[in-house]
């Protein structure tokens, strides 16, 4: 390894730290050390310029030092567009200063300008010849190589240089777009954290290297700092900017027992966090890998563009041969060689797909490959799971209906007091509403609270006997009959909790799994994007499903569906000739997600199994991203079709003009490459930032009376 300074900092059996400075990046250094037999892990610290190595006990530090000194990593791709263009400009200047004398045929290649032109074009010539020799078929660079050599033989290095300049420019645009897409999320999610505050066994905070943090440790993150690991809050509350994970720019309020993720920022407050995942296991690292993998997966239209390009290259050679046989004009032959459809079609398609995946990632949606961009544009049917997808998956109080003179606030005070220490989600919903209303709960003796399994709670609160539960509990405790008549009128209400105080019915609390904010708007947006049918599928009872169906005006719903049956419904819709997107979040949705043309998981409560089975992952709870992804995919496919049309039209006209000798080869090359650059720029427009309508979550709980007469 060149220019390497290595010093042993310390060594213990199986653990070595080396001070190491060289020109390689940390990832390269780590991979070099990990390649040594017996090394388990290697972590480079950019702040201390040292590398921590865990290895077999028999390995000595001197062996590692010697190995690193003599290691020669594979050469990186040092292709420099600036250098190639500089050689091209030099060739042009030399050709102008040293004009051709009476050189004929291959001797034209001996001109100083021609020699520099060949050197400047060496990458194009190498790739063109290599593909022809190894794969036995020509590519776009083969065509360009033939045009460059023909131009030089004709004694016109300037035509060759135009081909070089324009080809290099189009490659630059393609690479810059791909890098911008690839690096955007990586830069946005870059932890860039070298030290962190760790809490030791005595509760003392100590600043340590990030590399020393492991699962099970407790760390402290202060206001303005970035969280370095995935974990659960053990103490403190704060507002956390999770835009790097979810795409939402409104900070999220978190407190004890909430999960937080590496790469997010504490905008206010301080947090104690129990570390669960670090390094490559964090959510942010998995997201980056997902995006990078997605860019390698080709869409069908990309494969079509590649196949079309392969067919058109031989056609260009045939046209050139036919023109030469009929006209004996080298200028017209050159026009056939310098003008082709390959670059515009192939490069612009790949650039559009890559830009689309990058744009989706910026908004909080991870598309796992180009083929799903294409399928999203073809959707006509969407199947939505209810719980956790259409709804929030968390019970809230919808309504409090009083009876016999009790007020809403009075009922809630007694109920919240009785349920205060229950972990049941419905109990938590009622207690949360009491807190929001700032109710003072009556004092009670915990020993006088009885949990009756399958019925509810019986408690003594402030010398009053309180019953909170279902109708069977009230019948069992012989509540006065008049109140039971009131209850019977509302028995069909979903998830109703009945309340009785001192033997008299006090009222009913209606619980619901609230529909996600923005879901109605999302469905309308999907319909505008050409989705014909929106279907809901749920394991809930028919009446509950029907209420959601009516509120959202869905086309169809299926209730009381078992988890394994969801996949059958998806398969039936596909067999009917529909292109289906399934949206879910749980383990029970995974088979259906896998069967769908496009499986989508959405929301912060999504399971790992559902994420693995899906093709698109929406990392936030914002349903509007569903419509945005469909809209983006349609815009992408429209852009690709535009590029096809522009490329074919412009190059066809140029070929006709060249065949009739109306334009010189240098003009033909300029037209062809200008068209290629134009469609590439058209594809990069997909990356441009558009003003998004910000999704803002309104208050989830009612703050006013919602009395309904019975």
5-70 against 195-225+229-277: fold identical: no
Q: What torsion do the CA atoms of 222, 228, 230, 231 make, to the nearest 10 degrees? A: -40
Tokens of 537: 């599928």
Q: Tell me the CATH number for domain 392-514.
A: 3.40.1110.10
- CA distance linking residue 47 with residue 274, whole number of Å: 25
- For residues 344 and 679, the answer to whether their CB atoms sit within 8 Å is yes
579 three-state secondary structure: coil
Q: What are the residue boundaries of the structural domains of the chain, listed by start?
A: 5-70, 195-225+229-277, 371-390+515-629, 392-514
**271-277 vs 5-12, strand pairing mode:** unpaired
pLDDT of residue 9: 81
Answering whether pTM is above 0.75, one says: no
Angle at which helix 665-684 crosses helix 342-363, to 10 degrees, equals 20
Q: What are the residues whose beta carbons fall under 8 Å from the beta carbon of 54, sequence distance 6 or more?
A: 14, 15, 39, 40, 41, 42
- CA distance linking residue 412 with residue 625, whole number of Å: 37
**135: annotated active-site residue:** no
Domain 5-70's class? alpha beta
Catalytic position from the list 95, 217, 340, 385? 385
Average pLDDT per consecutive 10 residues, the chain (710 residues; last block may be shorter):
67 81 68 76 73 82 80 47 59 58 53 69 76 72 72 66 64 63 53 78 84 88 85 89 60 83 83 86 64 55 63 74 80 72 75 84 81 89 88 82 85 88 79 88 72 79 85 81 68 73 86 85 92 89 84 91 82 92 79 86 67 79 89 92 89 85 79 83 78 46 35
Give the CATH superfamily of 371-390+515-629.
Answer: HAD superfamily/HAD-like (3.40.50.1000)
Phi/psi zone of residue 547: left (φ > 0), alpha (ψ -120 to 50 degrees), beta? alpha
Q: Can you point out the beta strands (E) in 281-425?
A: 365-367, 381-385, 391-402
pLDDT of residue 470: 81
User: Domain 195-225+229-277, what fold?
Assistant: 2.70.150
**DSSP state string for 659-676:** HTT-S-HHHHHHHHHHHH
**DSSP state string for 148-190:** HHHHHHTT-HHHHHHHHHHHHHHHHHHHHHHHHHHHHHHHHH-
- For residues 17 and 27, the answer to whether their CB atoms sit within 8 Å is no
Q: Kind and range of the H or E element at 357?
A: helix 342-363
């Amino acid at each position: 390894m060149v220019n390497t300074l290595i010093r042993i900092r310390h060594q213990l059996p199986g653990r070595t730290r080396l001070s190491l400075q060289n020109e390689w990046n940390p990832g390269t250094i780590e991979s070099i050390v990990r390649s040594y037999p017996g090394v388990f892990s290697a972590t480079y610290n950019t702040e201390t310029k040292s590398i921590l190595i865990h290895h077999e006990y028999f390995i000595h530090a001197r062996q590692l030092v010697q190995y690193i000194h003599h290691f020669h990593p594979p050469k990186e791709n040092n292709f420099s567009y600036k250098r190639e263009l500089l050689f091209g400009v030099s060739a042009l200047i030399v050709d102008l200063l040293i004009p051709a004398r009476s050189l004929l045929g291959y001797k034209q290649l001996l001109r100083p300008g021609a020699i520099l032109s060949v050197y400047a074009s060496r990458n194009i010539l190498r790739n063109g010849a290599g593909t022809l020799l190894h794969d036995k078929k020509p590519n776009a660079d083969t065509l360009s190589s033939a045009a460059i050599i023909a131009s030089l033989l004709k004694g016109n290095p300037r035509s060759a240089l135009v081909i070089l300049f324009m080809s290099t420019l189009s490659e630059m645009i393609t690479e810059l777009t791909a890098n911008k897409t690839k690096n955007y999320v990586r830069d946005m999610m870059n932890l860039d954290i070298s030290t962190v505050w760790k809490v030791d066994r005595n509760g003392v905070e100590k600043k340590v290297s990030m590399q020393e943090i492991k699962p099970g440790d407790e760390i402290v993150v202060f206001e303005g700092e970035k969280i370095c690991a995935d974990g659960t809050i053990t103490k403190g509350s704060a507002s956390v900017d999770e835009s790097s994970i979810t795409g939402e720019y409104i900070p999220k309020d978190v407190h004890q027992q909430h999960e937080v993720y590496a790469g997010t920022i504490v905008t206010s407050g301080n947090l104690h966090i129990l570390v669960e995942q670090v390094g490559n296991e964090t959510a942010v690292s998995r997201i980056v890998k997902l995006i990078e993998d997605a860019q390698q997966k080709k869409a069908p239209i990309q494969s079509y563009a590649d196949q079309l390009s392969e067919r058109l290259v031989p056609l260009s050679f045939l046209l050139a041969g036919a023109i030469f046989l009929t006209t004996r004009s080298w200028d017209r032959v050159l026009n056939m060689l310098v003008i082709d459809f390959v670059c515009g079609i192939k490069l612009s398609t790949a650039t559009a797909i890559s830009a689309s995946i990058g744009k989706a990632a910026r908004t909080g949606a991870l598309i796992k490959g180009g083929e799903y961009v294409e399928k999203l544009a073809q959707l006509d049917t969407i199947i939505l799971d209810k719980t956790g997808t259409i709804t929030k998956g968390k019970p809230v109080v919808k309504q409090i209906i009083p009876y016999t003179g009790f007020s809403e606030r009075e009922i809630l005070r007694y109920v919240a007091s009785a349920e205060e220490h229950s972990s049941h989600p419905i109990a938590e919903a009622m207690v949360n509403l009491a807190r929001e209303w700032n109710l003072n709960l009556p004092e009670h003796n915990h020993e006088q609270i009885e949990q009756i399994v399958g019925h509810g709670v019986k408690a003594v609160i402030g010398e009053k006997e309180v019953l909170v539960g279902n109708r069977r509990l009230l019948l069992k405790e012989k509540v006065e009959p008049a109140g039971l008549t009131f209850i019977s009128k509302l028995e069909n209400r979903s998830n109703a909790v009945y309340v009785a105080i001192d033997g008299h019915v006090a009222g009913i609390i209606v619980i619901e799994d609230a529909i996600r904010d923005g879901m109605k708007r999302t469905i309308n947006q999907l319909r505008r994007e050409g989705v014909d049918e929106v279907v809901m599928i749920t394991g809930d009872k028919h009446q509950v499903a029907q209420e959601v169906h009516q509120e959202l005006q869905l086309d169809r719903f299926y209730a009381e569906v078992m988890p394994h049956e969801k996949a059958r419904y998806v398969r039936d819709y596909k067999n009917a000739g529909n292109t289906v997107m399934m949206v879910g979040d749980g383990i029970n949705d995974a088979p259906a997600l896998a069967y769908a043309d496009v499986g989508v998981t959405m929301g912060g409560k999504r399971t790992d199994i559902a994420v693995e089975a899906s093709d698109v992952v929406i990392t936030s709870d914002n349903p509007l991203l569903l419509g945005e992804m469909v809209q983006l995919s349609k815009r992408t496919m429209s852009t690709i079709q535009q590029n096809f049309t522009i490329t074919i039209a412009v190059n066809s006209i140029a070929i006709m003009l060249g065949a009739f000798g109306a334009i010189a080869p240098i003009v033909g090359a300029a037209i062809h490459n200008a068209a290629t650059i134009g469609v590439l720029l058209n594809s990069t427009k997909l990356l441009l930032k558009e003003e998004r309508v910000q999704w803002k979550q309104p208050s989830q709980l009612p703050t006013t009376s919602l009395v309904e007469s019975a």
